A = this chain, B = another copy of it.
Amino acid sequence: MARRLRILALLCLFAISGLGTIRARQGEGIRGFFPSSAGRQAELEKAFQQVPTPERARLDLWALTAEPRVAGTPEDYRTARFVLAQFRAAGLEAQIVEYDVLLPMPREVRVDLVEPIKRQGPTPEGGWNAAQGAHDRKVIAGYNAYSPSGNVTAEVVYANYGLPEDYDYLRQAGIDVAGKIVLVRYGKCFRGVKPYVAERRGAAGVLIYSDPAEDGYRQGDPFPKGPWRPPTGVQRGSILYLTEYAGDPLTPGVGATPKAKRLAINDVTTLPRIPTTPISYEDATPILENLGGPVAPPAWQGALPFTYHVGPGSAKVHLKLDMEFRTRPIWNVIARLPGTVHPDEWVVLGNHRDAWTYGAVDAASGTAPLLGVARGLGELLRQGWKPSRTVILASWDAEEFGLIGSTEWAEENAEALARHAVAYLNMDSGVAGSHFAASAVPSLSRLIREVAQEVKDPASGRSVYAVWSEEDGKVRREGGIPCAVLKSSRGTEEAGARVGDLGSGSDYTPFLQHLGVPALDLGFGGPYGVYHSIYDNFEWMQKFGDPHFRYSVAAAQIFGTLALRLAEADLLPFDFEDYGNAVRGYLDDLEQDVKKEGGPLQFDGVKSSLTGFAQAAKELGEAVTATSANGGRMPSQVRAANQALMEVERAFLLEGGLPRRSWFRHAFYAPGVYTGYCAVIFPGVREAASRKDWSAAAQQLDQIRQALDRGTGTLARAVAALGGAGARIGP
């Protein structure tokens, strides 16, 4: 799914937790490490960071992008073997883990204009590399995975981004979309939301096109002159209704092993029901140009050189889709470095390997750093190091279809992960430019900022942190650098190195939102308009994204250093005071919004629980400081404390999950039903409030209170294990 998703997910909502300055590392120490071990850790990190090289990153990317690698295809399997070989060559134990999942492939895609002129479509993508024109034939047709087959001829209505408010506008203008094909543009929400809404409004089919205002010439020069989408570029992508549950549609909640019980396809609730397909603006132009009806409002105008009308009238389209829905094998590649001190505490790093086309950015640019991490850890092993905790590296498959590889693995290993997972670190598209961005649970944002201080920004030679905190919210204003990664930022009102909230759109979702594993997601963004098109290829990367493959190295350094911190820390470096502050901000926002709606919710209870949580977090901080000052605690105490710290996030899971979508279980975060990528904070309350069901909202608010209370209890266990705040070492 990747770049586009990831970028939006990273930045669409910023946790206020992300705004503080970095708390001082104790002296020359490292947060989470006792003075006695900090020195060794610093050396370890330094040794690790010397392993990844631009040359190697370039070779990895070259190998990974040699041919398209759609999940479930022989080419995908070849790259699984490649990754397996790299893991093993690095000295790690690794294996391929296969699942059988529902992957639809296109047999035929036709989008013909039949009135007022006849024109056959879609136009093939192409022209990026005349010398290698033969490659183009290997690329899968532009399609939206999980669209049903269909054969519709109908008039067209332009519905802007295809959000509920867009249809409300059309209705007010007296325009009925029933039985029509709606033409919507990419942007503002996960593409799966568009057919979801269109279906509920009675449309007969959906065309989703890439407007040049979004990622084409209005942003900058199109490929190959620049990094943006050329006229025939099509954005492929899944339209699975992922806000219900992620992963294989046939096996919700369980791993898609051969013996798993599977739903009948008609019982699946995440499948769209009207034919939907993506088109280029080359193909959208003759349709839009021939729409009658009223002029579309200013906010609906894109960058094509005419006035957009909403239709219907004049333009009539024949949309024919023939999709082959079949269960196919997919291949995760999993490497495991067993922990020697705390083998039952797992740090998991993941990236998806599958791609819609050549996938240089999405997500080979994250796979190369993952391989860099593997080699770095392998080198440390060779030097005699053994990890304290178990480290797991995962190369996920079928992310593009719906976070499938990661979800099936997480579901299959749900019990073990619930007991053992310390954190899940995700890197989807690792490098599309030079602008660092991260999203995380608030307890991990400080760690990201600390690690970003330890890694050099290749262009400036300063730390990634320094550049990140300077440019955050600023780059967007700079002329000439329209920068996808910064486009969805909250604005410029807050400076600093901000860490966003996790919504959905990449493989952290099953870990965080289904299993309560603390998660983070990171990468370097930049001007990137070729998402999910044939142009996301090696040439693009070498020309625009990371010409010297130095940001790939920086990505590997950050990714691996984070893993090393979490794997080796004496006391896990979560910061729950940050978490408490973030939740306070969320609650203030919620209370304000509820007040605006006139909702009769009482916030006293939840606020008092939050105060308790914050107090416990403060005591934990003091206990950690005391422990650290005293050079450590007895191993059993520390182990008990870490066990509790690991479980705080789990305490935020709702027992029965969210109403109407029980797969999503986190009390604070879920992907928004109408955004899909961006996090909705307190989804249970907000969704009830949006229906004005105040009694349900009050119940959900009480669930948040209970979640906080559980968190407080878990924190208290950690404090107690350390002998209480400010306590001295016991006997």
Contact = CB atoms under 8 A, between A and B. Distances in A.
Interface stretch (A86-94, A261-269, A299-307): A299-307
A635 interface: no
Contacts of A173: 479-480
Contact of A479 (B222, B226, B297, B303): B297
A298 interface: yes
A296 interface: yes
Contacts of A150: none
A607 interface: no
A297 B477 CA distance: 9
Contacts of A219: 298, 307
A169 interface: yes
A342 interface: no
B479 A307 contact: no
Contacts of A222: 307
Nearest to A478: B297
Contacts of A480: 173, 294-297
Interface in A188-234: 212, 217-222, 226, 228
A571 to B, nearest CB: 46
Given A303-B305, A304-B305, A305-B303, A295 B221 contact: yes
Interface in A473-516: 478-480, 482
A303 B213 CA distance: 10
Contact of A301 (B218, B228, B294): B218
Contact of A305 (B217, B295, B297, B300): B217
Contacts of A478: 297
A299 B479 CA distance: 8
Nearest to A228: B307
B295 A212 contact: no
Nearest to A476: B298
A306 B226 CA distance: 12
B479 A300 contact: yes
Given A226-B307, A305-B212, A307-B222, A298 B217 contact: no
Interface in A266-315: 294-301, 303-307
Contact of A482 (B217, B220, B298, B304): B298
Nearest to A226: B307
B305 A220 contact: no
A11 B221 CA distance: 36
A304 B217 CA distance: 10
Nearest to A281: B305
Given A300-B479, A479-B296, A307 B169 contact: no
Contact of A217 (B169, B221, B300, B307): B307
A449 to B, nearest CB: 29
B307 A305 contact: no
A543 to B, nearest CB: 15
Given A212-B305, A217-B307, A169 B479 contact: yes
B226 A295 contact: yes
Nearest to A310: B480
A588 B150 CA distance: 65
A221 B307 contact: yes
Contacts of A305: 212, 217, 303-305
A479 B217 contact: no
Nearest to A299: B479
Given A226-B295, A295-B480, A303 B300 contact: no
Contacts of A226: 295, 307
A36 to B, nearest CB: 52
A298 B169 contact: no
Nearest to A298: B482
Contacts of A296: 479-480
A704 to B, nearest CB: 36
A294 B220 CA distance: 10
Contacts of A299: 479
A307 B226 CA distance: 10
A228 to B, nearest CB: 8
A300 B478 CA distance: 12
A306 B173 CA distance: 32
Contacts of A479: 169, 173, 296-300
A217 B306 contact: yes
Contacts of A295: 220-221, 226, 480
A478 B298 CA distance: 9
Interface string A149-186: 00000000000000000000100010000000000000
Nearest to A218: B301
A221 B306 CA distance: 7
Kindly name the residue among A212, A228, A297 whose own CB sees the greatest number of chain B CB atoms within 10 A: A297
14 contacts: A212-B305, A219-B298, A222-B307, A228-B307, A294-B480, A297-B478, A297-B480, A298-B479, A298-B482, A299-B479, A300-B479, A303-B303, A303-B305, A305-B305
CB-based closest 6 A-B pairs: A297-B479, A305-B305, A221-B307, A217-B307, A295-B480, A217-B306
